[in-house]
Amino acid sequence: MIGFDSHTPTAGGIGELAIGVGGLDVAVAMGGGPYYLTYPKTIKVELTGKLCPWVSAKDVVLKVLSILTTKGSVGYAIEYGGEGVKTFTILERATITNIGFETGVTTSIFPSDEMTLDFMRKQNKGEKKIG
C-alpha cells in the first residue's frame, strides 16, 4: 500500500507493506497510473523475550533508532521477527512501525500472525468466505 503520509508505515504493525510517498504519486496511482518502487533491502530485527515493567514499545524503537540513527537507512525496510514478536500487541507493533520511519527507512513490518488475525476479526476484517 502507498499513502501520502509519513505515518503510512504504521500499517506494518498488522503485517502490511505500507510506504509513505508524495501526494502526487498517490493521486497518479489512484488514477490508474503506475507507481514504481525500488525493492528495499531489509534490516532484520530479532525480538526476544518480553518487555520488562516500565519498558514500552516506544523504548524498543528508540533503541533501534539509536543504533541506525537517522542517516544511512534510505532504501531499507526493517523487518521485525523472532520469538518476542508474539508478546507485542497490535498497538505496540503499530507504535514501532510508526516511529520506525524516523530512522530514514522506507518502511517497517511485523509478521502477520494469530494476534493480527484476531485484531482484524474484531474490526470485521477477518477471513471472507466466497460463494
- 25 lies in some domain: yes
- 127 lies in some domain: no
Confidence check: pLDDT of 126 > 70:
no
- 129 lies in some domain: no
pTM for this prediction? 0.87
- 99 lies in some domain: yes
* Amino acid identity at 25: D
Which range of residues forms the domain containing residue 46? 2-122
Here the CATH number for the domain that contains residue 25 is 3.30.499.10
- 80 lies in some domain: yes
Q: Are 75 and 40 a contacting pair, CB within 8 Å?
A: yes
- The confidence score (pLDDT) of residue 130 equals 57
- The confidence score (pLDDT) of residue 131 equals 55
3-state helix, strand, coil in the chain (%, to 5): 40, 15, 45
- 43 lies in some domain: yes
Instruction: Report how many domains make up the chain.
Output: 1
Average pLDDT across the chain, whole number = 90
- Which tens digits make up the pLDDT trace of 68-92? 888 778 889 999 999 999 999 999 9
